Amino acid sequence: MTMIHRITDHVYMVDLETGGYKGGIASYVIVGEEGMAVIDTGPKCSVDNLIKDLSIIGDLKDVKYVIATHIHLDHFGGAATSLKSLENANILVHPRGRKHLINPEKLWMATKKAIGDIAEFYGRPDNAPEDRVLEVKDNEEIALGDVSIRVIYTPGHAPHHVSYYVTPDSVLITGDSVGIYHVGMLHPVSLYPFDMESALRSLDKMIEVKPKYVVFSHFGMDTSGEKILMRGKEKLIKWYEMIKDLILSGNGFEDIYRRILESDAELRKIVENREKIPYFKGSGKRCVFGMYMAIKEKLDTTLNA
């Protein structure tokens, strides 16, 4: 049995303990009078853990929706597999992600190229039945009786990224749109390819919601509400400006990463703590690299125009 944390009357966090490691990947379960929903299943290799915990929280037959923040394997690689145990559930995903759940071959090959053996550990996603994969739209409300889930389109980390606001509980489920989180500290999840302008607009949309609780896939809950969202935005801007200045000063990536690591105590602590988990090894550096590439490509385009 993995760890179940009750956040509010309707919202639970499930620590999937992927690979036997605590505090790595979370799923969120919303329970209403008219059914249940799961937001992010985690990777395929964790589905058995998820199903066991869902059966503790409620009846598997009551799960109506399996919902994606985005389709990256660590978040939603187990979605199609989970449907085998959730006979009454349909998948909800941003339109840009739908085809990759029905036929995940391109997603699988791209992920293997990007993260290699980590992808093999997560497992190749199963093909989802086309008639059970539905699309969500920005500002749509997903009703579960006495609880509702609002869709908030939040691109930046990925063009198909969606966050969800649960009412009346005032819980904002952010996926990777705000950051990697560890006991009050965070850093951007700016993996390549990263869209800075979209990420900032997404953060502004979430700040406007004024949530009481902000929860993260990697990992945990923050109770400072919009303050943690503001910190995420400030950190994003700080990284961007520092990396841009260093590129313009002629610094290469390795030196830039060293300088960011030296200047950002939260990044250092998160790297020291989270990268003890094998499948997160190097993730902090990859986040800095994603922003480095986004800035470099933009500068190259401007200079060559």
Q: At what angle do helices 283-304 and 226-248 cross, to 10 degrees?
A: 60
The confidence score (pLDDT) of residue 305 equals 61
Within 24-121, strands assigned E span 26-32, 35-39, 63-67, 90-93
State the span(s) of the chain assigned CATH 3.60.15.10. 3-227
Q: pLDDT averaged over the chain?
A: 97
Of the two residues 233 and 304, the one the predictor is more confident about is 233
Peptide bond into 168 cis (omega under 30): yes
86 forms bridges with which residues in the sheet?
none
The confidence score (pLDDT) of residue 242 equals 98
What is the SS3 assignment for 167? Answer: strand
pLDDT over 70, % of the chain: 99
Residue 126 structure tokens = 């199963």
pLDDT in tens, 209-254: 999 999 999 999 999 999 999 999 999 999 999 999 999 999 999 9
Within 53-160, strands assigned E span 63-67, 90-93, 133-135, 141-143, 148-153
Closest of 83, 85, 222, 84 to residue 93, by C-alpha: 83
The confidence score (pLDDT) of residue 275 equals 86
What is the SS3 assignment for 207? Answer: helix
How far is Cα 139 from Cα 276, in angstroms, rounded to an integer?
38
pLDDT in tens, 11-39: 999 999 999 999 999 999 999 999 999 99
Model confidence at 100: pLDDT above 60:
yes
Model confidence at 301: pLDDT above 60:
yes
pLDDT in tens, 152-178: 999 999 999 999 999 999 999 999 999
148-153 and 141-143 beta bridge pairing:
antiparallel
Model confidence at 293: pLDDT above 90:
yes
pLDDT-derived band of residue 274, with 50, 70 and 90 as boundaries? confident
Cα 173 to the center of its chain, rounded Å: 9
pLDDT in tens, 114-128: 999 999 999 999 999
Is the domain 3-227 a CATH 3.60.15.10 member?
yes
Model confidence at 95: pLDDT above 70:
yes
Q: How far is CA 204 from CA 25, 153, 198, 233, in A?
A: 25, 12, 10, 8
